[in-house]
């Protein structure tokens, strides 16, 4: 079979066998079609996987690094990594089917600089919450959203899918299905539980979504019951608004609150493995991005033992 045909088979397998969401599949399609586009003239238009060699990989990486879009923009190192991750997944798929091709382990990822983690200290979260009015339905909703993001470390994609019956407010916990269709427990603090209860008390609808968009243009009837569900962009705007009011100069996003959840746990003595489980990270190396900002004891060591610290 030709490489392009097998790429389509791989994308179908991602959907059916691996349960990947449509956005991930579309990203993989883009990356692998670009791989095919940048390599066909090096082999032939209908080349087979057996023709993917270390030399072809080398030339592909060079072209990927020099690639420019119609605006003359090049691909970042991180975006190049995503292309190579997709290619590695495709080669693994071929190997599982017994199709001769390049060993996926030969696809090394470029070294990237670790991104600086932006998080809020607990007092900054409190400042954020203090700016939210509690005399309107929208204010009560916004407080419940921010309390829950900080309390549970949810991804914004997980938050917007929640329904009223998703959360057991008596047990202060629920299960969410995150990336890779993996379930993990979410624990709800007393303040977050109270905020959600206060919000639901003023709701006079029977819609299933836990958090609703209150904009007037969202009032049209829709049989799906999801016509007023908030979007990730809506959550982003809500958080940006209160961060600005609180005078927080950091760029605060829904993911900042997830970072804040993790760093708060680690700063208070939680072990890395437990935080990994609470965040739903499949690899602990992902969780380790927080360790350089959570070693609170290092300041004590510096104060006690550095010659100029007295």
Q: Summarize pLDDT for 9-32 with one digit per residue, the tens.
A: 999 998 888 777 788 899 999 999
pLDDT tens per residue across span 255-269? 999 999 999 998 888
Q: Given this model, what pLDDT does residue 269 score?
A: 82
pLDDT tens per residue across span 281-309? 888 878 888 876 666 556 666 677 766 64
Active site residue 179: yes
CATH 1.10.150.130 fits 3-106, yes or no: yes
Average pLDDT over residues 220-228: 61
Which one of 18, 59, 179, 184 is the catalytic residue? 179
Q: Range(s) for CATH 1.10.443.10 in the chain?
A: 122-297
**With contact defined as beta carbons under 8 Å apart, do 211 and 192 qualify?**
no
* Short-list 152, 159, 144, 181, CA closest to 282: 181
Q: Given this model, what pLDDT does residue 267 score?
A: 83
Count CA within 13 A, CB hemisphere, residue 27: 14
How far are the Cα atoms of 108, 163, 196, 232 from residue 190, in angstroms, in the given order? 46, 19, 10, 25
Q: Given this model, what pLDDT does residue 268 score?
A: 84
pLDDT tens per residue across span 104-122? 999 998 876 666 788 999 9
- pTM for this prediction: 0.68
pLDDT tens per residue across span 232-241? 999 999 999 9
Active site residue 281: yes
**With contact defined as beta carbons under 8 Å apart, do 201 and 144 qualify?**
no
Q: Range(s) for CATH 1.10.150.130 in the chain?
A: 3-106
Active site residue 155: yes
Which one of 281, 292, 302, 306 is the catalytic residue? 281
Residue 47 pLDDT > 80 = yes
Taking CB atoms within 8 Å and a gap of at least 24, the contacts of 130-138 are 130/246, 131/242, 131/245, 131/246, 132/242, 134/198, 137/199, 137/202, 137/203, 137/214, 138/214
Which one of 20, 34, 155, 259 is the catalytic residue? 155
Active site residue 258: yes
Q: How confident is the model at residue 45 (pLDDT cuts 50, 70, 90)?
A: confident
Q: Given this model, what pLDDT does residue 295 score?
A: 63
Which one of 59, 161, 203, 255 is the catalytic residue? 255
Computed over every residue of the chain, the mean pLDDT equals: 88
* CATH code for the part of the protein at 122-297: 1.10.443.10
Q: What is the percent of the chain where pLDDT is above 90?
A: 63
Which one of 34, 229, 258, 259 is the catalytic residue? 258
Least confident interval from 136-150, 202-216, 296-310: 296-310
Question: For the stretch 213-238, what's the b/e string if a residue is b when 16 or more beta carbons lie within 10 angstroms of its beta carbon?
Answer: beeeeeeeeeeeeeebbbeeebbeeb
**With contact defined as beta carbons under 8 Å apart, do 37 and 120 qualify?**
no
Active site residue 290: yes
* Short-list 163, 187, 164, CA closest to 175: 187
């Amino acid at each position: 079979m030709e490489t392009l045909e097998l790429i389509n088979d791989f994308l179908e397998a991602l959907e059916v066998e691996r349960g990947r969401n449509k956005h991930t599949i579309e990203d993989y399609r883009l990356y692998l079609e670009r791989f095919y586009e940048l390599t066909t003239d090096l082999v032939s238009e209908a080349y087979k996987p057996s023709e993917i060699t270390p030399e072809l990989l080398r030339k592909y990486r060079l072209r990927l690094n020099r690639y420019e879009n119609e605006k003359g923009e090049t691909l970042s190192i991180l975006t190049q990594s995503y292309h190579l991750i997709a290619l590695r997944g495709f080669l693994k798929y071929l190997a599982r089917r017994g199709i001769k091709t390049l060993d996926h382990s030969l696809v090394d990822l470029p070294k990237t600089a670790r991104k600086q983690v932006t998080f809020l200290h607990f007092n900054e979260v409190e400042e954020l919450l203090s700016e939210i009015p509690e005399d309107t339905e929208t204010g009560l909703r916004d407080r419940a959203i921010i309390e829950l993001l900080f309390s549970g470390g949810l991804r914004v994609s997980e938050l917007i899918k929640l329904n009223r019956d998703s959360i057991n407010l008596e047990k202060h916990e629920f299960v969410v299905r995150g990336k890779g269709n993996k379930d993990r427990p979410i624990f709800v603090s007393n303040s977050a539980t109270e905020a959600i209860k206060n919000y639901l008390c003023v709701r006079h609808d029977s819609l299933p979504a836990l958090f609703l968009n209150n904009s007037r243009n969202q009032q049209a009837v829709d049989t799906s019951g999801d016509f007023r569900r908030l979007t990730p962009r809506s959550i982003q705007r809500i958080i940006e608004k209160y961060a600005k009011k609180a005078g927080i100069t950091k760029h605060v996003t829904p993911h900042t609150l997830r970072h804040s959840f993790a760093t708060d746990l680690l700063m208070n003595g939680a072990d890395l493995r437990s935080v990994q489980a609470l965040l739903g990270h499949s690899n602990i190396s992902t969780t380790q991005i927080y360790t350089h900002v959570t070693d609170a004891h290092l300041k004590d060591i510096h104060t006690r033992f550095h010659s100029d610290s007295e």
